[in-house]
Amino acid sequence: MSFWNHIISVFKRKELSEQRRGLLTSIREGIPAVIVANLLGGPILTIYIVYLGGTASDVGLVMAIPALANLVQLVAAFYMQRFTNRRLLLTIFGSLHRILWVTTGLIPFLVPEELRVGVFIGLFFMSFISASASSVFWTSLVADMVPPQVRGTYFGIRNTIHWAVGSIVLLVGGQILERMNDQSGFIILYAISAVCAVWNGMELWRYPNPPFQKSEASSSAALFLKPLKDRGFMKATVFIAIYILLQNMAIPLFSYVMLETLHISKWMITVITTVQMVVTMFSYYYWGNLNTKYDARTLLLWALPIIAASCVLWVGIEIIPVIAVLLLVNIVFGFGAGGYNLLIFNFIIGDTPKSDRPMYVALFAALTGITGFIGPLVGGWIYKQIADSPFWLQSYGISLFVGAALLVLALTIGPLVLRVERSAQVEGEQLEG
């Protein structure tokens, strides 16, 4: 099915088979989810935290929370072996995630000024615990829905559609904040998000609910130890976790540096981020097609240095107009991030045995979540410490040092650990699919 036929058939669900209806439900469900994520997340999230009175450390902490919340996936993976109605669990936790996030919009009206940031962090943390739990059920469900031979193409198309929506939404959201005062602007953004949260919950319930294949592990300990004994999987996971630790010291704080150090307007920040999202949107389709020819691990070796280069390019501020540099940085990052986001998902669901996939997903999320949590905290602390340092260090210095370290890691250690080492069990499952 061509790209445009995929889009058209989204609205012709009744004419399709059960499997195709499930695949298109996944596309439709993601649209309201993307709207909420872009109206309340990304650079707008940074702007909202600053609006509530937050500092660089607060921004770093909030940006780290989604990663820390991934630890709950271990609990969700164990629980899935007992309660196998994945659609019900996905609907409950997915809806709770967005409802709690939308609730943070009430903070300026109900919470004293000195408590606003703390209350926001608490609600945001509970929201992303729910999101993390729902992602285990979603990944397991979707991995069963999408045939292995079309995963690269399908997720490339799905992500392209969603990022197209996200790009437009972010641009509109930035325009709303630019043209209105902060309070009025955020009221509109949160009102739209509330409607989309309800819409998303309705779409989540439309997912098919195929039988869940339980693990053959004899005990909870054996279930947990299975991915730990998979050397190829663990080497790749530990490497990616370290890479995420380093990159999260800089990348999640890009918007903060633009807003507070470079004094870029809110509108321009959303425009720059939208450019990044448009590039990411098109790169998903490109990387998805490549993934039909090359293994996800191989392609990750191409994507990771591109992300590192986006950090190094901040040094261009010294010789090129700031806006031009920021656009270049975000174009390069968007292309690399599109590859990473698609390929890391296909790596997890493609290189893992079906019956034990939830635990593999949970362990990967937990390890990368720990390092993903530490990274922004360290980054926020560093930016706070260098508040009185030379401008070059505050503006591009940290990104430059982090980018150089990421390049070294990706080009030296990466090829050693991201070799294609799939077990016969996984290969057999893919052939059966």
The lowest-confidence range among 8-17, 57-66, 222-231, 233-242 is: 8-17
Determine the residue type at 237.
Answer: T
Where b means 16+ CB within 10 Å and e means fewer, 276-288 reads bbbbbbebbbebb
DSSP codes, 339-406: HHHHHHHHHHHHSS-GGGHHHHHHHHHHHHHHHHHHHHHHHHHHHHHTTTS-HHIIIIIHHHHHHHHH
Calculate the average pLDDT of the chain. 84
Residues 230 and 204 both lie in one domain: no
Task: Give 156 or 408, the one with higher predicted confidence.
Answer: 408
pLDDT, tens only, 237-269? 899 999 999 999 998 888 888 888 888 887 888
- Do 328 and 402 share a domain, yes or no? yes
On whether residue 275 sits in a domain, the answer given is: yes
Domain count, the chain: 2
Report the alpha-carbon distance of residue 237 to residue 242 in Å, rounded.
9
Please check whether residues 157 and 291 belong to one and the same domain: no
* Average pLDDT over every residue of 131-145: 86
Q: Indicate if 194 and 230 belong to the same structural domain.
A: no
Domain end marker among 174, 209, 244: 209
- CA atoms lying within 13 Å on the CB side of residue 308: 22
429 has pLDDT over 50: no
Rounded to the nearest angstrom, the gap between the alpha carbon of residue 334 and the centroid of all alpha carbons in its chain is 13
Half-sphere CA count of 96, side-chain side, radius 13 A: 18
The pLDDT value recorded for residue 17 is 64
- Verify that 170 and 300 share a domain, yes or no: no
Would the pLDDT of 224 be above 90?
no
Is residue 13 domain-resident?
no
- 252/389 same-domain check: yes
Among candidate residues 163, 189, 209, the one where a domain is terminated: 209
CATH number at residue 418: 1.20.1250.20
242 and 379 within one domain: yes
Last residue of a domain, one of 188, 209, 230: 209
Confidence band of 1 (pLDDT split at 50, 70, 90)? very low
Answer yes or no: is 4 within a domain.
no
The pair of structure tokens assigned to 26 is 């996944």
The pLDDT of residue 2: 52
DSSP class per residue in 276-331:
HHHHHHHHHHHHHHHHTTS-HHHHHHHHHHHHHHHHHGGGGGGTS-HHHHHHHHHH
pLDDT in tens, 194-207: 999 999 999 999 88
Average pLDDT of the residues in 42-66: 86
On whether both 193 and 246 belong to a single domain, the answer is no
- Residue 426 sits at the vertex; the CA angle it makes with 359 and 91, to the nearest 5 degrees, is 40
| 419 and 281 part of one domain | yes
Q: Give dist(CA 418, CA 429) in Å, integer.
A: 21
151: helix, strand or coil: helix
228 and 204 in one domain?
no
Q: Residue 259's domain spans which residues? A: 219-432
Number of H helices, E strands in the chain: 21, 0
Does a structural domain hold residue 10? no
* Residue 188 and residue 328 in one domain: no
Question: DSSP letters of 43-57?
Answer: HHHHHHHHHTT--HH
Check the CA dihedral 336-354-95-241 and report its sign. Answer: negative
DSSP string across 125-149 = HHHHHHHHHHHHHHHHHHHHHS-GG
